[in-house]
């Protein structure tokens, strides 16, 4: 039986509505009445009705403000407005708030009952759709995970793929964490219930960090972490180890947890996912019940590893700066150490090569290198794992570096400085569009997202996300200073569909909440 609440400051109208319709006869329960919006909010939070019938013009809190609060706290509740002819101007605002319908006073009983029946039917249909979506969501999530980790030449816009699942990551940094169940629960809990329990543990640990959890296979979950503040690698590692321990403590099971590198752009989450996946593929060698990354695969107790660590840091910097000759020299020094020390196992050498190829793959994509796709990486990964000697493994690594060098030489001959100007011109004109991403802008000007991201940093000294945020916040400040419009309207005008998230971004950028900014400027 669906619940109905009546809200009107006129006692006679409330009384008439309560008695004129035989609610139970039509399958409804009259769950209460309220004389104003403030009282109604408390009643609605308590009863969680499916339908609210409300006047628009009321004291203390009018129907429009009531609708806004109801939609934020109980989005599944349907609202039917009643309004006098002189208040008909509010109808447009009501439609913007996506209320179900509105009726002119004096309200006809039969017409109102018909609207309530229509709202009830739509509510039921919507609940059925949501139930079906809940059931199919794990399959959609697994499909996207496989798209990101299986070899393909088709470019994937990870931001759009995640948005299709209702996942929007807008933090300051991005890292993927893969969790694999190693054993069944001692309580006999099946895998799906076990994954649900792991999600509950994760949700408790995510209070200070923005993130989302996806299904990544029969016994795997993928945690996408995107905190609002940039976090150092050591803090991410501590968070992951604590999560690993909490899962064991609360559920009595061990898991294997792998994670990728930390990235600064949303589209780079795909890189972190792939790195976590490649690391998980080494689980049969690293062992179950572990927390590790690709960088941890080579054992730290080998004395050659200490000599190589410094060279690896130099290699990372050389690749990031687009210096293939320097990177090749560093690879040769690493090769020489491995030959001379005679301490490295074949498996260690394979893992080092995979790590260097993965690094080159992700960094070189920022230069728009044609080879940077998951198929290219996966094929070379398989080649390395089949090779039997140090020389052939490092010949492969050097051949990849040579290809990259030839590409970079060609790149130097072209003038690419106008690309960022094109991107900025497009963003300046379309900053108000919801879901505007680096990938979308890159598609418009026909370059890859990593390449455009790198150019932004090189030419402008900031990343794309910071540029877009700054532009939107400056526009919002102008709107707050010049116009008396509501916060949710400003948020919509500068590209945010979530007013709460807009307010968080605004305070982070200006130091003021929207309300504080209005008062002081």
pLDDT in tens, 398-426: 998 888 888 877 766 555 557 888 889 99
pLDDT at 209: 58
For 165-175, the pLDDT digits (tens) are 878 787 788 99
Cβ burial of 270 (10 Å; 0-12, 13-18, 19+) is: buried
Specify the DSSP class assigned to residue 272: H
Q: What are the residue ranges spanned by the domains of the chain?
A: 2-126, 150-295, 303-412, 417-520
Cβ burial of 385 (10 Å; 0-12, 13-18, 19+) is: middle
CA distances from 352 to 23, 91, 345, 349, 357 (A): 72, 65, 11, 5, 9
Ranges of beta strands (E only) in 355-442 are none
CA distances from 291 to 33, 201, 254, 317 (A): 55, 17, 11, 26
Angle at CA of residue 109, ends 124 and 8, nearest 5°: 85
| Per-residue pLDDT band at 66 (split at 50, 70, 90) | confident
Tell me how far apart the alpha carbons of residues 463 and 456 are, in angstroms, rounded to a whole number.
6
Q: Give yes or no for residue 155 having a pLDDT over 70.
A: no
Tell me how far apart the alpha carbons of residues 262 and 265 are, in angstroms, rounded to a whole number.
10
Q: Give yes or no for residue 102 having a pLDDT over 90.
A: no
pLDDT at 258: 94
Query: How many residues are given for the chain?
Result: 521
CATH of span 150-295: 3.30.70.270
Instruction: Pick the closest to residue 335 from 279, 406, 392 (CA basis).
Output: 392
H helices of 190-265, in order, are 191-205, 233-251
pLDDT at 153: 55
Q: Give yes or no for residue 301 having a pLDDT over 90.
A: no
Tell me how far apart the alpha carbons of residues 449 and 410 are, in angstroms, rounded to a whole number.
19
Q: Which of 1.10.150.20, 3.20.20.70, 1.10.10.60, 2.60.40.10 would CATH assign to domain 417-520?
A: 1.10.10.60
pLDDT at 88: 57
pLDDT at 91: 59
Q: Which residue has the tokens 């018909």?
A: 114
pLDDT at 410: 73
| pTM of the complete model | 0.55
The CB-side HSE value for 348 (13 A sphere, CA atoms) comes to 17
Instruction: Pick the closest to residue 260 from 173, 197, 331 (CA basis).
Output: 173
How many CB atoms sit inside 10 A of residue 85's CB? 7
For 103-112, the pLDDT digits (tens) are 777 888 888 8
Tell me how far apart the alpha carbons of residues 461 and 375 are, in angstroms, rounded to a whole number.
32
CB 41 within 8 A of CB 61: yes
CATH of span 2-126: 3.40.50.2300
Q: Which of 47-56, 66-75, 203-212, 380-389 has the weakest average pLDDT?
A: 203-212
Question: Please, which residues bridge with residue 180 across strands?
Answer: 220, 256
Q: Give yes or no for residue 64 having a pLDDT over 90.
A: no
What is the overall mean pLDDT for the chain?
Answer: 82
| Per-residue pLDDT band at 472 (split at 50, 70, 90) | very high
H helices of 175-232, in order, are 191-205
Mean pLDDT of 23-49: 87
Mean pLDDT of 340-348: 75
CB 240 within 8 A of CB 201: no
pLDDT at 229: 73
Give the rounded percent of residues in the chain with a pLDDT score beyond 90.
11
For 202-242, the pLDDT digits (tens) are 887 675 557 889 999 888 999 998 887 777 778 888 889 99
Q: Which residue has the tokens 């559920």?
A: 251
Instruction: Pick the closest to residue 471 from 495, 452, 448, 498 (CA basis).
Output: 495
CB 495 within 8 A of CB 433: yes
Name the more confident of 310 and 285: 310
Q: Give yes or no for residue 519 having a pLDDT over 60.
A: yes
Q: Give yes or no for residue 87 having a pLDDT over 60.
A: no
Q: Is 30 helix (H, G, I), strand (E, B) or coil?
A: strand
Give the rounded percent of residues in the chain with a pLDDT score beyond 70.
87
Tell me how far apart the alpha carbons of residues 240 and 259 are, in angstroms, rounded to a whole number.
9
Preceding peptide of 106 cis, ω within 30°: yes
């Amino acid at each position: 039986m669906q619940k109905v609440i009546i809200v009107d400051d006129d006692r006679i109208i409330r009384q008439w509505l309560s008695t004129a319709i035989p609610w139970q006869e039509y399958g409804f329960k009259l769950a209460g009445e309220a004389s104003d919006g403030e009282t109604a909010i408390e009643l609605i939070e308590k009863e969680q009705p499916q339908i609210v019938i409300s006047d628009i013009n009321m004291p203390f809190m009018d129907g429009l403000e009531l609708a806004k609060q109801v939609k934020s706290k109980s989005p599944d509740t349907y609202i039917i407005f009643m309004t006098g002819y002189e208040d008909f101007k509010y109808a447009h605002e009501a439609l913007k708030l996506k209320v179900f319908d509105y009726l002119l006073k004096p309200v006809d009983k039969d017409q109102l009952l018909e609207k309530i029946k229509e709202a009830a039917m739509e509510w039921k249909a919507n609940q059925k759709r949501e139930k079906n979506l809940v059931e199919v969501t794990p399959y959609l999530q697994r499909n996207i995970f496989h798209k990101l980790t299986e070899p393909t030449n088709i470019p994937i816009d990870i931001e759009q793929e995640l948005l299709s699942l209702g996942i929007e990551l807008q933090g300051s940094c991005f890292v993927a964490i893969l969790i694999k169940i190693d054993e069944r629960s001692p309580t006999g809990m099946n895998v799906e219930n076990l994954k649900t329990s792991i999600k509950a543990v994760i949700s408790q640990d995510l209070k200070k960090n923005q993130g989302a959890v996806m299904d990544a296979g029969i016994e795997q979950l993928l945690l996408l972490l995107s905190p609002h503040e940039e976090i150092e690698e050591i803090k991410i590692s501590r968070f992951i180890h604590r999560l690993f321990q909490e899962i064991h403590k609360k559920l009595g099971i061990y898991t294997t947890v792998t994670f990728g590198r930390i990235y600064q752009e949303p589209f780079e989450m795909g890189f972190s996912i792939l790195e976590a996946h490649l690391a998980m593929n080494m689980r049969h060698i690293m062992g179950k019940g572990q927390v590790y990354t690709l960088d941890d695969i080579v054992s730290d107790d080998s004395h050659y590893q200490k000599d190589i660590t410094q060279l690896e840091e130099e290699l990372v910097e050389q690749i990031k700066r687009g210096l293939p000759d320097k990177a090749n020299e560093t690879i040769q020094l690493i090769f020489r150490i491995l030959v001379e020390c005679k301490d490295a196992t074949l498996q260690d050498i394979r893992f080092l090569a995979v790590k260097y190829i993965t690094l080159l793959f992700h960094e070189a994509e920022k230069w728009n290198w044609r080879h940077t796709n998951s198929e290219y990486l996966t094929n070379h990964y398989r080649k390395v794992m089949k090779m039997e000697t140090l020389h052939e493994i490092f010949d492969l690594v050097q051949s990849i570096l040579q290809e990259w060098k030839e590409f970079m030489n060609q790149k130097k001959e072209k003038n690419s400085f106008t690309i960022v100007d094109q991107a900025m011109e497009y963003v300046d004109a379309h900053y108000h569009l919801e879901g505007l991403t680096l990938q979308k802008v890159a598609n418009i000007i026909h370059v890859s997202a990593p390449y455009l991201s790198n150019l932004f940093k090189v030419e402008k000294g900031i990343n794309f996300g910071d540029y877009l945020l700054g532009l939107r916040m400056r526009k919002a400040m102008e709107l707050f200073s010049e116009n008396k419009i509501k916060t949710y309207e400003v948020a919509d005008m500068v590209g945010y569909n979530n007013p709460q998230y807009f307010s968080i971004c605004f305070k982070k950028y200006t130091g003021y909440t929207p309300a504080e900014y209005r008062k002081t400027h």
